[in-house]
Structure 1
């Protein structure tokens, strides 16, 4: 399908939604709402998918296209998807969050990371954790510019700022893999970047579980150190243990049944998201542990991802479009200053933190200089955490989610281009390696 055909089809779908809205405006009741939700899902699956393709043609992430489609078609702009429809479509959020965690876990290969462990460990500790702390302090200093923090007691504010710091620091292995495939990058920089962002997923999810549990107890005004520790241990180790059991189940299905694995994975993700929350377990940790078990014990993470990749596409399209439609555009002017400051703090923290950590780890000079750019991209995990933030803290989570989604949107637009440039400048992009080999002097033959 050509670009013109995609644009015309998007326009035709918009016209159809406009016509349906004008006819249905007099209707009301559950049947009309159900019909509107079904129509909205069909509209999103077609239009957002096409918009994602258009964004990919101009070398922007498809996820940015899905978000943009959600913003334009949501209640704040064209209102093809009203508030009720967007609320009904949020049922997919739990499945998508669990799928993102399962994918992240299945990419964590501890064997592949072993040769780079020193560099990865130092960068994770200094750059990722250090930047999360810097972002938390920045959010605390920006308290006068964040209305949802202004009325909180100082202890609750500190706890919530810690959660914000963890959410905002999240990286994106998906974008890193895509840019690496596109440029053909290979070498110390590309290998270190991929190992760090994959391990950072594990680190960020664990830190989110810890900080959100503490913040929930502090905000409730009933912080009991013993009870909080018990709940935290259950949430961490209970989620990891049950997640490992889910990994066993997935591996058995993968080896014994083989057929229908994609639908089985979606069902497991839905159950983990809905039941896990009621049992005070963390769906992100559960499915992360499941993915790590399949990859590191059964050594079949790649095959698992390939099996459910096609089935997960509609879920991701709906998830990111709903995320875009949920953004409160009227609140964006309020968050312009904090968004800009936090983007700047995050970028500087990751770039300079990586330089310091790489020098401490005695990494190659080009890793010191260029690896930090690989930590800048954001995508699925950050958005999943933003929506989980909103669910965990319903009284102010929507406003905090708008702040985080604004930060993610800026990084999605800018960071992939910076990473592509870093691979080229480091000499690890395929075109640069080929040119270097072509101009290198011939090696004298030895007898």
Structure 2
């Protein structure tokens, strides 16, 4: 018995990290099943529950064990990158040329107005409150993103088929695309401003955006061709997963925006390939386990010692983002009043839910600005839970008061 225990102890020193990583992955996927059951029975958002699981992990790791949470060791960054690439790729796949034409100027103007309202209000408000330029700009860019799933589910549950509900769905269909573009521009701008050598940093900023577009095109066209040559099933699944890994890996290697690369590749494939649905359906089938890891790890990234410091910033961010969404929607509706008088001016409040893309941006911003990283992550993780819990209620409230002739 003593020899057996000595052998186990000796082996534990060499394989404990990998064993713990596999054990944690298994536990997280098991918990996601429990979370899904709780969500269906209580109507609580799955995303918020998964983030709370991560916060619970951080609480155990930091509170009881007295150390910083670093779940899954070296697997954390690849899992997060892969999940974000999948989300952005599927988002790019929604941007078909026919859909963009059908969206029309009404939704484009309203979505741009809401984006600018959030961006300007959050940045100006946080900067005037004394927060650093980098922190204010990062959170302003993050504030642009919306959670399409939460908005869509809330509208579906309400049963409303009004003009307001259709316009809201149209806005969230392209809102995260705006968010990725704005976030990429913001990160490039901050890199340029913060660098010592202006010329070199400007080239780096342009490469980060232009290189992402170029890489997305270079990977997108061959993938579009290959999709039509492969039979549905395992070969297509392998091709889709290979594309995700290539985009995540090459983006990091070339130091370009992984989100923008994936969105451009998805856009190219969906508009070029006649068999584009195969790749996207395969990614949709395997996406959820990676999103489980992503949301839990986002919650686990929260440093509890910074939470008290971040409470004031969390409150300011929630208030400013809500005001910005409302003002943007209000001004957008006024601008289009002649074209469509039936729209309600509080439509921006129906765009408050915020989830995966926003947290992904927060983690990327934290890597770029480590001195502000903990505040950014704490703010976005905490506000995401609040927006996911109360945002759908506001969505239903906004679409619940249609005009007299609002059927569409």
TM-score bracket relative to the smaller structure: 0.7 to 0.9
Map Cα deviations across residues 236-255 of structure 1 (whole Å, 9 max, x no partner): 22211221232223323332
Residue 314 of structure 1, aligned match among 289, 295, 299: 289
TM-score by length of 2: 0.87
Please list, as runs of the form range in 1=range in 2, the aligned pairs for 1:137-176 lying within 5 A after superposition.
137-143=124-130, 157-176=132-151
Q: Alpha-carbon deviation of 1:78?
A: 6.7
Residue 43 of structure 2, aligned match among 54, 59, 62: 59
Tell me which residue corresponds to 2:244: 269
Structure-2 change in CA distance of 1:115 and 1:41 (3 Å)? closer
Q: What runs of 5+ residues in structure 1 fail to find an aligned partner?
A: 1-23, 144-148, 150-156, 438-447
Residue 329 of structure 1, aligned match among 290, 304, 312: 304
Residue 83 of structure 1, aligned match among 44, 58, 69: 69
Q: Is the 8 A contact 1:37 1:88 kept in 2?
A: no
Structure-2 change in CA distance of 1:233 and 1:128 (3 Å)? same
Indicate the SS of the match to 2:400.
Answer: helix
Structure-2 change in CA distance of 1:414 and 1:263 (3 Å)? farther
* Alpha-carbon distance between aligned partners in 1 of 2:125 and 2:333, rounded to the nearest angstrom: 24
Map Cα deviations across residues 14-64 of structure 1 (whole Å, 9 max, x no partner): xxxxxxxxxx99996341121111111100111133213312322222111
Q: Is 1:68 equivalent to 2:68 in the alignment?
A: no
Indicate the SS of the match to 1:419.
Answer: helix
* Alpha-carbon distance between aligned partners in 2 of 1:193 and 1:223, rounded to the nearest angstrom: 44
Matched length: 394
Q: Is the 8 A contact 2:220 2:268 kept in 1?
A: yes
* Alpha-carbon distance between aligned partners in 1 of 2:146 and 2:360, rounded to the nearest angstrom: 12
Tell me which residue corresponds to 1:247: 220
* Alpha-carbon distance between aligned partners in 2 of 1:334 and 1:52, rounded to the nearest angstrom: 32
Q: Is 1:305 equivalent to 2:280 in the alignment?
A: yes
Structure-2 change in CA distance of 1:328 and 1:365 (3 Å)? farther
Please list, as runs of the form range in 1=range in 2, the aligned pairs for 1:228-247 lying within 5 A after superposition.
228-247=201-220
Q: Alpha-carbon deviation of 1:333?
A: 1.8
Residue 256 of structure 1, aligned match among 217, 229, 236: 229
Q: Alpha-carbon deviation of 1:427?
A: 7.8
Indicate the SS of the match to 2:370.
Answer: coil
Single out whichever of 323-332 and 51-60 deviates more from structure 2: 51-60
Q: Is the 8 A contact 2:302 2:378 kept in 1?
A: yes
Q: Alpha-carbon deviation of 1:209?
A: 1.4
Please list, as runs of the form range in 1=range in 2, the aligned pairs for 1:204-223 lying within 5 A after superposition.
204-220=179-195, 222-223=196-197
Single out whichever of 364-373 and 133-142 deviates more from structure 2: 364-373
Q: Is the 8 A contact 1:214 1:228 kept in 2?
A: no
The root-mean-square deviation of aligned C-alpha atoms, in Å, is 2.9
Q: What runs of 5+ residues in structure 2 fail to find an aligned partner?
A: 1-7
Q: Alpha-carbon deviation of 1:193?
A: 1.6
Residue 421 of structure 1, aligned match among 377, 397, 400: 397
